[in-house]
């Protein structure tokens, strides 16, 4: 098998390659003067099982085009099987029609990846499970919960833990983490979102007084929801609030917002290359999912079970 990486998250790609004790495929992914993307693979991939590692985070459209062109280059180079490894699947939040005359962009992106020539997709914590059904090719959705639960138990096992979902839609994710933490109690923050990127905390379902709360979510973008939820939990008597989020988009003033919030810590995985501001942040910590992705890649290549990773 071979590993080919785009430019979106080279640090994670190299960590996966190191775990598997194999080099990244020698290739050039560069730009023409007008910013058109050009890909050239410098070694033979005929008959190979190739994994293309590319997160479609910021700049989303550039990284998505890199992925599609890499897949096309491999297809035209007679690769036997092409697996698109998307630690973060961009456009996932547009997975339904929230109103009239709006797109389902997640389905459109799934069609583009399939049309480019991918034979399989591997992603982590898709925003909605049904996105797997948008693909007409085999799709594996990995979960960061095992990595997060191990970190939580290592750091906070002596605390009176409570898992909190920052909205009603994340209850299934919160319940899964709760089970991994020995059936820790569960609470839900009921919020009303007036417009995208803004949220207003309305009520907390569950008694959080004296509890050390673990907020769990899949994406942190502006961080408004997390910071509002943390403030509400502290007002309700929580001992402390730590947030664990799979995909740290952290756009705009998100890092400054987290630094100024009542959150004790925000832990994000390296599914997306961290923005430069994260390097100076005191409250944001990175948790690697390279071993998780590497194990999944190895099992797909070996034709063994991926789901047993989470048993």
DSSP state of 257: H
Asked whether residue 271 is marked as a ligand-binding residue, the answer is no
Residue 191 falls in the annotated catalytic set? yes
Domain count, the chain: 2
Any known ligand binding at 35?
yes
Check which CATH number belongs to the domain holding 38 and give it.
3.40.50.2020
Pick the catalytic residue: 2, 107, 191, 234? 191
Given the DSSP bridges, would you call strands 240-248 and 2-5 parallel, antiparallel or unpaired? unpaired
Low-confidence ranges of the chain (pLDDT < 50): none
pLDDT digits (tens, 9 = 90+) for 198-247: 656 668 999 999 999 999 999 999 998 899 899 999 999 999 999 999 99
HSE (side-chain half, CA atoms, 13 Å) at 116: 25
Are residues 125 and 151 both part of a single domain?
A: no
pLDDT tens track for 145-156: 999 999 999 999
pLDDT at 309: 86
Residues 79 and 149 in one domain: no
pLDDT number for residue 190 = 86
Q: How many CB atoms lie within 10 A of CB 80?
A: 13
Q: Structural domain of residue 58, as residue ranges?
A: 2-142+291-310
pLDDT tens digits for 273-289? 998 999 899 999 999 99
DSSP 8-state assignment for residue 23: P
pTM over cut 0.85: yes
**270: annotated binding-site residue?**
no
Same domain membership, residue 88 and residue 24? yes
Residues 6 and 127 in one domain: yes
Residue pair 310/146 in contact (Cβ under 8 Å)? The answer is yes
Burial group, residue 214, by CB count within 10 angstroms (0-12, 13-18, 19+) = buried
């Amino acid at each position: 098998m071979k590993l080919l990486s785009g430019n979106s998250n080279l640090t994670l790609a190299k960590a996966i390659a190191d775990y598997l004790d194999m080099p990244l495929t020698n290739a050039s992914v560069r730009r023409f003067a007008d910013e058109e993307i050009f890909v050239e693979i410098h070694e033979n991939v005929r008959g190979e099982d190739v994994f293309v590692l590319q997160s479609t985070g910021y700049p989303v459209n550039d990284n998505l085009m890199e992925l599609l062109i890499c897949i096309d280059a491999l297809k035209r180079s007679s690769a036997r099987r092409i697996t698109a490894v998307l630690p973060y699947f961009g456009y996932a939040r547009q997975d339904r029609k929230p109103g009239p005359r709006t797109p389902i962009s997640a389905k459109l992106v799934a069609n583009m990846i399939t049309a480019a020539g991918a034979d399989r997709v591997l992603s982590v914590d898709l925003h909605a499970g049904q996105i797997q059904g948008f693909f007409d090719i085999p799709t594996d959705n990995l979960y960061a919960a095992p990595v997060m639960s191990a970190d939580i138990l290592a750091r906070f096992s002596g605390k009176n833990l409570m898992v909190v979902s920052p909205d009603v839609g994340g209850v299934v994710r919160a319940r899964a983490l709760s089970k991994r933490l020995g059936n820790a109690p569960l609470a839900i923050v009921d919020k009303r979102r007036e417009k995208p990127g803004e949220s207003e905390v309305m009520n907390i379902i569950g008694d959080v007084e004296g509890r050390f709360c673990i907020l769990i979510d899949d994406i942190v973008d502006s961080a408004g929801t997390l910071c509002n939820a943390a403030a509400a939990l502290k007002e309700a008597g929580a001992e402390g609030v730590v947030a664990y989020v799979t995909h740290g988009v952290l756009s705009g003033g998100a890092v400054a917002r987290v630094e100024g919030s009542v959150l004790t810590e925000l832990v994000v995985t390296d599914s997306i290359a961290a923005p430069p501001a994260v390097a100076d942040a005191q409250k944001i910590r990175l948790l690697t999912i390279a071993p998780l992705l590497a194990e999944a890649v190895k099992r797909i290549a070996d034709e063994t079970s991926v789901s047993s990773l989470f048993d």
